[in-house]
């Protein structure tokens, strides 16, 4: 085929030498592989720039029988996103956080994701991967995620990004409860103030705290009455979990009654000793939480479930054994993803 006169008179390819190499025509600005009349094929997408790909896509015809791109009703789309979030909830692992006072954070409170005594430390990246897609689509889907997963600042300077909290699952340890004897008194005062008088950015974090753990049983002493009172200001507080430090399973055939009983020294020797040293003041210290309906449970890390409920009575501290098949008691068991 001999090119027509009109074709022959067209400008040379852009970028080549020639009198008319800088033509102002719109055609000459297209990539040569797209507009040139003798080139009927397109190069592989890997060889095109983003602008060239966009131009190529705009030149493609709509398939026969199609009037435009397929659409999905927005309410159906939101239902799909809601299902994704529900699946993420079902697969979320329980996480234990330590709460710290953080002056540099707008919330004045931050969380730390390391706790050597409790073995279950699920991967934060796994938690994020499950909600990443719905959290990045648009503002509406991100708000749907935030109703179930709460963003909180990290106190770990090696991981400065925000972390994701699952209020119904996660457990929080106040920093002054982790080791009461070594925590600075002035910093404990700052922490209590940040918890009792939270800043507006801290509202979501404060409201997400439902379960608090105290690894040290010595926390429940008269010296910490003000700190326990500060915990009682948490609006959604439900449970307190205390490490009983030692546990001996009962001998086979031993008849254990249901309901309240004195602290059993054979099963919980450390807790029985604590009852002697601190049990007398437990009722007074725990009263602010008891008035809110908060319960205290005892656990041991290697058992990975709650063992007993610790109850203050007029005769002192008593315990109530929890059934081993109790699903709620398995707070440290991770869900398979």
Q: What is the pLDDT of residues 127-141, one digit of tens each?
A: 677 788 888 888 888
Banded model confidence at residue 2, pLDDT cuts 50, 70, 90: very low
More confident residue, 123 or 246: 246
Asked whether residue 180 carries a pLDDT value surpassing 80, the answer given is no
Handedness of CA 81, 83, 87, 88 (dihedral sign): positive
Mean pLDDT comparison of 64-78, 182-196, 278-292, highest-scoring range = 278-292
Asked whether residue 35 carries a pLDDT value surpassing 70, the answer given is no
Asked whether residue 225 carries a pLDDT value surpassing 80, the answer given is yes
Q: What is the pLDDT of residues 110-128, one digit of tens each?
A: 888 754 444 444 456 666 7
Q: Among 107-111, 199-203, 257-261, which stretch is predicted with the lowest mean pLDDT? A: 257-261
More confident residue, 72 or 234: 234
More confident residue, 211 or 27: 211
Query: Mean per-residue pLDDT for 246-263?
Result: 76
pLDDT, position 209: 92
Token pair belonging to 192:
């209590």
Banded model confidence at residue 99, pLDDT cuts 50, 70, 90: confident
Q: Where are the domains of the chain?
A: 72-168, 210-336
Q: Among 34-48, 125-139, 282-296, 316-330, which stretch is predicted with the lowest mean pLDDT? A: 34-48
Report percent pLDDT > 70 for the chain: 63
Query: Mean per-residue pLDDT for 227-235?
Result: 89
């Amino acid at each position: 085929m001999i090119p027509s006169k009109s074709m022959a008179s067209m400008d040379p390819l852009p970028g080549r030498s020639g009198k008319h190499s800088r033509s102002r025509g719109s055609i000459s600005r297209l990539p040569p592989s797209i507009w040139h009349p003798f080139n009927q094929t397109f190069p592989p997408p890997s060889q095109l720039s983003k602008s060239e790909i966009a131009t190529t896509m705009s030149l493609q015809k709509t398939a026969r029988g199609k009037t435009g791109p397929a659409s999905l009703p927005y309410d159906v789309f939101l239902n799909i996103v809601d299902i994704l979030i529900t699946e993420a909830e079902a697969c979320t692992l329980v996480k234990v956080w330590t709460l710290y006072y953080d002056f540099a954070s707008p919330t004045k409170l931050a969380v730390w994701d390391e706790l050597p005594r409790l073995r279950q430390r699920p991967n934060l990246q796994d938690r994020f991967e499950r909600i990443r897609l719905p959290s990045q689509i648009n503002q509406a889907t991100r708000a749907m995620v935030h109703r179930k997963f709460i963003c909180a600042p990290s106190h770990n300077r090696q991981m400065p990004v925000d972390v994701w909290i699952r209020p119904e699952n996660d457990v929080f340890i106040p920093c002054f409860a982790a080791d009461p004897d070594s925590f600075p008194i002035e910093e404990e005062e700052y922490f209590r103030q940040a918890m009792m008088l939270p800043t507006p950015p801290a509202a979501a974090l404060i409201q997400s705290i439902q379960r608090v753990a105290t690894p040290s049983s010595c926390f429940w002493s008269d010296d910490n009455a003000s700190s326990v009172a500060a915990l009682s200001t948490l609006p959604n507080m439900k449970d307190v979990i205390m490490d009983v430090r030692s546990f001996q399973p009962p001998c086979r055939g031993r008849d254990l009654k249901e309901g309240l009983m004195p602290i059993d020294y054979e099963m919980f020797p450390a807790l029985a000793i604590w009852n002697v040293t601190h049990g007398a003041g437990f009722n007074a210290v725990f009263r602010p939480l008891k008035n809110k309906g908060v319960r205290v449970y005892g656990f041991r890390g290697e058992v990975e479930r709650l063992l007993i409920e610790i109850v203050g009575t007029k005769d002192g501290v008593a315990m109530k054994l929890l059934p081993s098949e109790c699903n709620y008691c398995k707070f440290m068991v991770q869900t398979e993803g």
